[in-house]
């Protein structure tokens, strides 16, 4: 069983292109999820700290996590409405700032890169330390979850055993033999081939790079499983990794920035009560749990994000107020 992604991972969690930003603005007129679409004036939740609008980006993982936020906040006495599938970061960060939404799940590394393009932080500790200043006075975050959805260099189990691979650096000695599959942008962006060469000595020639435009989705998985490519950029919460017995190579030099799931909150809606509720759920949201949620929503079961979220919240004992 192989799981597809509705949007490519690189596009959906990176700083968007102009085209994506344009599409995101258009999507404001069509976003849904149980409440009115975002209006040009930013119809928001007012000043009541117990009234919260939860938003999501426009891909299944974000919508699933946003539904978890919704369920937990309701269990803790908040009056919650939702505005899901807003679009890219270029759309939902302004929506937070103008009060159209109050809370949304994001990813620490890409959030920092969006807010501070000059930041060079990549480790979880450095990213977390840099974020508060980058957020400014209008936005806050609560504690990031252990769950992380980040780029990874992935190989088959057979390749890992044949070359005794455990980390990206182990692959460097085989550079000439490696056909690497990833989105075309991976050739140029700092965390792509340039970073792998600089930090690990993994030198992929243009002839050995195979551009695949699905952001680690089914085409990439099929190419890796069938041997068309030797290594691939696949996101760590892809159920296809476990389903195919793939091996994620360790990244001790933090070439790929940390991408822990983190609630981003409009500063005027921040409160101790809100923080306690979001911290409680984030503490239980691990990468393994996120993989299972993705498999439920985007795999063969095709569970609706709201239903998958509700079941997860119940299973975790988060369907009652945080003590």
Q: Which domains does the chain have, with CATH numbers?
A: 9-148+259-315 (3.40.190.10), 153-248 (3.40.190.120)
Mean pLDDT of 38-47: 59
Give the CA distances from residue 60 to residues 4, 151, 156, 287, in Å, rounded to whole numbers and listed in that order: 11, 17, 26, 15
What is residue 1's predicted lDDT score, i.e. its pLDDT?
Answer: 30
Tell me how far apart the 2 most distant CA atoms of the chain are, in Å.
61
Mean pLDDT, residues 61-82 taken together: 98
Q: How confident is the model at residue 45 (pLDDT cuts 50, 70, 90)?
A: confident
Q: Please state, for a pLDDT cut of 70, what percent of the chain lies above it.
A: 87
Helices 108-115 and 124-135, packing angle to 10 deg: 40
The rounded distance, in Å, linking the Cα atoms of 205 and 273 is 53
Strand order in the sheet with 103-107: 79-83, 51-55, 103-107, 261-266, 139-141
Percent above pLDDT 90 for the chain: 82
User: Average pLDDT over the chain, rounded to whole?
Assistant: 89
- 259 within 8 A of 150, measured Cβ to Cβ: yes
Q: In this predicted structure, what is the pLDDT of residue 38?
A: 55
Average of per-residue pLDDT across 209-225: 95
150, pLDDT greater than 70: yes
Name the β-bridge partners of 53. Answer: 81
Instruction: State residue 287's pLDDT score.
Output: 96
Identify whether the C-beta of residue 73 lies closer than 8 Å to the C-beta of residue 309: no
Counting every residue written for the chain, the total comes to 323
Give the lowest-confidence range in 1-5, 20-24, 75-79, 89-93. Answer: 1-5
Q: What is the mean pLDDT of residues 141-157?
A: 98
The yes-or-no verdict on residue 15 having pLDDT over 80 is: no
What pLDDT is recorded for position 39?
42
| pLDDT for position 47 | 79
Which pLDDT value is given to residue 323?
Answer: 82
Ramachandran bin of 189, using left for φ above 0, alpha for ψ from -120 to 50, beta for the remaining angles: beta
Q: pLDDT tier at 268 (50, 70, 90 boundaries)?
A: very high
Res. 18: pLDDT tops 90: no
Query: Which helix H or strand E contains 264, and what residues bound it?
Result: strand 261-266
Looking at residue 30, its pLDDT comes to 33
Best CA proximity match to 279, nearest among 150, 151, 140: 140
Q: Is the pLDDT of residue 10 over 90?
A: no
pLDDT of 44: 77
Of the candidate ranges 9-18, 103-112, 249-258, 298-307, the one whose mean pLDDT is the lowest:
9-18
The C-alpha atoms of residue 260 and residue 94 are separated, in whole angstroms, by: 21
Burial label, 132 (beta-carbon count in 10 A; 0-12, 13-18, 19+): exposed
For residue 61, the model assigns a pLDDT of: 95
Tell me the mean pLDDT in the region 241-265: 97
């Amino acid at each position: 069983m192989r799981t597809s992604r509705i949007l490519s991972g690189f596009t959906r969690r990176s700083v968007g292109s102009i085209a994506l930003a344009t599409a995101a603005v258009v999507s404001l007129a069509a976003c849904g999820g149980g409440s009115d679409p975002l209006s040009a004036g930013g119809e928001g939740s007012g000043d009541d700290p117990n009234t919260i609008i939860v938003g999501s980006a426009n891909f299944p993982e974000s919508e699933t996590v946003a539904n978890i936020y919704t369920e937990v906040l309701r269990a803790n006495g908040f009056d919650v409405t939702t505005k899901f599938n807003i679009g890219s970061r270029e759309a939902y960060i302004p929506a937070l700032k103008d009060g159209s939404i109050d809370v949304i799940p994001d990813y620490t590394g890409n959030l920092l890169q969006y807010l501070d393009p000059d930041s060079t932080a990549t480790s979880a500790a450095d990213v977390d330390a840099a974020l508060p200043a980058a957020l400014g006075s209008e936005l806050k975050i609560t504690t990031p979850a252990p769950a992380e959805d980040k780029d990874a260099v992935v190989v088959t189990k057979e390749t890992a055993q044949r070359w005794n691979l455990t980390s990206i650096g182990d692959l460097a000695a085989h550079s000439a033999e490696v056909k690497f599959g990833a989105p075309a942008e991976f050739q140029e962006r700092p965390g792509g081939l340039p970073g792998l060469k600089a930090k690990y000595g993994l030198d992929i020639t243009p002839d050995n790079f195979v551009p695949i435009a699905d952001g680690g989705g089914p085409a990439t998985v099929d190419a890796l499983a069938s041997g068309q490519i030797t290594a691939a950029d696949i996101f760590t919460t892809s159920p296809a990794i476990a389903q195919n017995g793939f091996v994620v190579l360790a990244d001790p030099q933090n070439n790929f920035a940390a991408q822990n799931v983190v609630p981003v909150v409009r500063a005027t809606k921040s409160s101790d009560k809100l923080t306690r509720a979001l911290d409680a759920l984030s503490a239980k949201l691990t990468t393994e749990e996120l993989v299972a949620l993705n498999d439920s929503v985007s795999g063969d079961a095709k569970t609706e994000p709201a239903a998958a979220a509700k079941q997860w919240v119940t299973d975790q004992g988060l369907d009652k107020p945080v003590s």
